[in-house]
Amino acid sequence: MLVIRPIREDDYASLYKIACESGIGFTSLPVNEELLRSKITRAVRSFSRRAHKPGPESYLMVMEDTSTGEVVGTCGIEACVGLTDAFYHYHVGKVVHSSRELKVHNTVETLTLCNDYTGSAELCTLFLRESHRRGLAGRLLSRSRMLLMAEHPELFGSPVIAEMRGVSDEHGRSPFWQWLEQHFFSMDFPTADYLTGIGQKVFIAELMPKYPIYVNLLSEAAQDVIGKVHEKTQPALQLLKTEGFRCKGYVDIFDAGPTVEAELSQIRSVRNSQRRHLLIVDEVEVAEAEDFMIANTQLANYRCALAKAKLDDETGAVLLTAEAADVLCVKQGDPLRVLAVK
């Protein structure tokens, strides 16, 4: 059985392995022992203390295969970005150059550096290992974050955003960054990506163009990838679109991948999830049941898993086996948050 839980200090080796597998462009997991240990410590502290409003908390979780104890994926939520470090994006806008006398009217796209998403919650660090990219594992990993937010909405900023990995080749070369590198940075994309991942962002403010960039002045290759995602990111983007996330014209400053957003209360899984109480039953009683994503309502001991279950609308109960209840760390009568897979 696959279960999502808060990361622990002893998960470091697994997280390091995932960081190595995720590759260049996966900024939130740089291959750096000090930073990864710091991320784990910060997450452990965030889950253990009960915040009363959106703040600098980071809720990093892992997917564990309970049959082997192996960590096979990770996902996270930043409760409120931009509070301690500047949070940069490019906003895609337009300017019009028009002359009535000459009968010339040209509309040109621009990229303007901004911090518009400061204070937003961010879905981040989503990675599922190749061995488990099948069935509903990817959906469970992504939506487990939404069930956590549905249960504890007061902990998260608004809107909820997700930065999607932009286009780069197998060597980590980004067409968009290559243009910026040539004219402003003099460092390759993997280096810039790594520095950002370890929190060294001062160079962005120091070297990034201070004025809007006219898109038609970029190389053709750079123009072609603005707002597009890496081929391996397509499934994650599609899932977020089904949840109601949309791009509002913001792209990443390094690879020009799109940032999508949604109001927390309007996310499909948040709206459709239900609060139920647990009724433990024999396995026979749920043999013909449907698949549900089910999460407990705790924070420090959060669990989310995929299980066969039945809903009793008369009593407001969700019928689960004792095995599933154990995985979710709940007992008879405890509250649960339930989301139908279909």
- Position 105 in a domain: no
Strand (E) or helix (H) holding 8: none
Number of domains in the chain: 2
Continuous segment of H or E residues that includes residue 81: none
Question: What distance in Å separates the CA atoms of residue 66 and residue 75, rounded to the nearest whole number?
Answer: 17
Q: State the burial class of residue 255 (Cβ atoms within 10 Å of its Cβ: 0-12, 13-18, 19+).
A: buried
The kind and range of the H/E element at 172 are none
Whether residue 140 sits in one domain with residue 220: yes
Shared domain for 229 and 322, answered yes or no, is no
Dist. CA 125–CA 168, nearest whole Å: 18
- Out of 89, 91, 230, 277, the active site residue is 230
Both 25 and 38 in one domain: the answer is yes
pTM above 0.85, yes or no: yes
| pLDDT tens digits for range 148-174 | 999 999 999 999 999 999 998 877 788
Known catalytic residue: 230?
yes
The parts of the chain modelled with pLDDT lower than 50 are none
Which amino acid is residue 36, in one-letter code?
Answer: L
Q: 199 with 224, same domain?
A: yes
Q: What are phi and psi of 133, to 5 degrees?
A: -85, 75
Residues with Cβ within 8 Å of residue 22, at least 6 apart in sequence: 29, 127
- Give me the long-range contacts of 27-32 (CB less than 8 A, separation at least 24): 27/193, 27/196, 27/197, 27/254, 28/76, 28/124, 28/125, 28/197, 29/74, 29/125, 29/127, 29/197, 30/193, 30/194, 30/197, 30/198, 32/194, 32/197, 32/198
DSSP state of 87: -
Neighbours of 304 (CB within 10 A): 26
323 falls within a domain: yes
| Strands 160-163, 121-128: pairing kind | parallel
What DSSP character marks residue 184? I
- Under 8 Å between Cβ of 125 and 15: no
Instruction: Return the pLDDT at 169.
Output: 83
Could you list the beta-strand ranges (E) of the chain: 2-6, 58-65, 70-78, 89-99, 104-114, 121-128, 160-163, 213-214, 246-251, 258-262, 274-280, 290-296, 304-312, 317-320, 335-340
3-class SS of residue 282:
coil
Cβ density class 57-71: b for 16+ within 10 Å, e for less: bbbbbbbbbeeeeeb
The reply to whether 146 and 259 lie within a common domain is: yes
Residue 88 lies in a domain: no
Q: Are 128 and 38 found together in one domain?
A: yes
Q: Do residue 18 and residue 44 come from a single domain?
A: yes
Q: Which domain holds residue 318?
A: 273-340
The reply to whether 170 and 246 lie within a common domain is yes
pLDDT of residue 57: 96
Give the CATH number for residue 171.
3.40.630.30
Q: Look at residues 216, 332, 214 and name the one whose alpha carbon lies nearest to residue 281.
A: 332
Where residue 323 sits, what CATH number does that domain have?
2.40.40.20
Cβ atoms of residues 235 and 117 within 8 Å: no
